[in-house]
Amino acid sequence: MSYRADPDFLSELKKYGLVNIESCFNCGNCSAVCPLSTGEDNFPHRMIRYAQIGMKEKLLSSKELWLCYNCGECTTTCPRQADPDEFMAATRRYAIAKYDLFGLAKLLFTSPILSVLFLIVLAAVLGLFIYSFHGPMPGNNLWLFDFIPSEMIHNFGVLAGIIIVLISLAGIANMIISISKNQKTPNNIRLNWWQALWNTIVIEVLGQRRYRKDCNAHSQEQRWYKQKWFVHASIMWGFLGLFLATILDYLLELIGIKPIGTWVPIWYPVRLLGTLAGLLMMYGVSAAIIRRWRKVDETSSYSTPSDWAFLILLWLSGITGFILEISIYLPQPHAWGYWMLLVHLIAVGELFILLPFSKFAHAIYRTTALYIYALKPLSKVESAGAGIQE
């Protein structure tokens, strides 16, 4: 397949980050030191070359773009200070904007002032919408879901969830179509669909194998709880734990075991899961904010407004959740608990709505790319055995 060179591609890419690859003279050192680069999946050198000569479609159709975990080895050892690590990050932002059908991701990544205004307006709209359903604020006890009905929260969450899933699937479809142009598999070859799913979800995404073992091999940080892979994993595991606790809480209400908002001890299983997951997420988010603020290494030396917005929304979601939990266990009810619920719902709602357009989208596209990467043809013996079973 032939690709058309776009002479304006590099200047367009610069809008998405601190791209400085003009100084690169293609020595290949970045790919040589990268712990994840292979002869077949060669990055970031190949990606840089595509950008230099304007091969936009070729770059967007490369699954290697999403295999990078920003360990910073390439930038540390680059003899020309071309910062390949930030180039890869900027290109992923560009790809997310291209997969997005609505143009919102482009605004969030390239227009700091407009993106801040958008986030403020979205928060105000969400707040007014949620508050329009408000009920009384009983003073004798803290009945949070008399103030904001849980039914409204659930219905709005389900509707928003369906829309977000559809938007995400559209972006994934765009990504797969793009990658399929660059990676074709003959129809008569059987692939390890289920094994690839296990390797992707359990081994790579949840287990963080490549990030933990390969990318962390040269880490100077000896304390495991400060290593980048654990900070990253804490945010992910904590968020997934909170999501699971929310789903379980809703299911318990549906089957009539525990209405939402009912007081339960801290050791109640769902409450305990949410508390531990929240603590883990707050640790990861706080550590990530500190790393970026202090610019402790190459990967945290440059942060876009979208990076900060993502971390701040996560942090606000977590801290308001814990303040709400504290207000429930206080001996005397306080009216500020009702307003904290409103702030919490605004932060969570904004984070949720922006999922396909923000840094959160990395998780969606990286998981898809890792799955494509894990797909391998079965051996002839395995293929024959599968054919017999069918």
| pLDDT for res 105 | 94
Longest Cα separation, the chain: 72
Each residue's pLDDT, cut to its tens digit, for the chain (390 residues) gives 566 788 889 999 999 998 889 888 888 899 989 888 877 778 888 899 999 999 988 888 888 888 888 888 898 889 988 899 999 999 999 999 999 989 999 999 999 999 999 999 999 999 999 999 999 888 777 888 889 998 899 899 999 999 999 999 999 999 888 888 766 655 666 778 899 999 999 999 999 888 888 887 666 666 888 888 899 999 999 999 999 998 998 888 888 787 776 777 888 888 899 999 999 999 999 999 999 999 888 788 888 999 999 999 999 999 999 999 888 888 887 888 899 999 999 999 999 999 999 988 988 999 998 898 888 877 543 444 444 333
Classify the C-alpha dihedral 148-150-153-155 as positive or negative. Answer: negative
Look-up: residue for tokens 């949410």?
A: 274
φ/ψ of 81, rounded to 5, equals 55, 40
Say how many CA atoms lie within 13 Å of 212 toward its Cβ. Answer: 13
Q: Could you tell me which residues come within 8 angstroms of residue 56 by beta carbon, excluding any fewer than 6 positions away?
A: 6, 9, 50
| pLDDT for res 67 | 85
Selection from 134, 65, 139 nearest residue 96 by Cα: 65
Is the full-model pTM beyond 0.85?
A: yes
* CA–CA dist 30, 353 (Å, integer): 36
| pLDDT for res 385 | 42
The residues pairing with 377 across neighbouring beta strands, listed in sequence order, are 191
* CA–CA dist 369, 203 (Å, integer): 14
Selection from 88, 84, 36 nearest residue 62 by Cα: 88
Q: Which amino acid is it at 255?
A: I
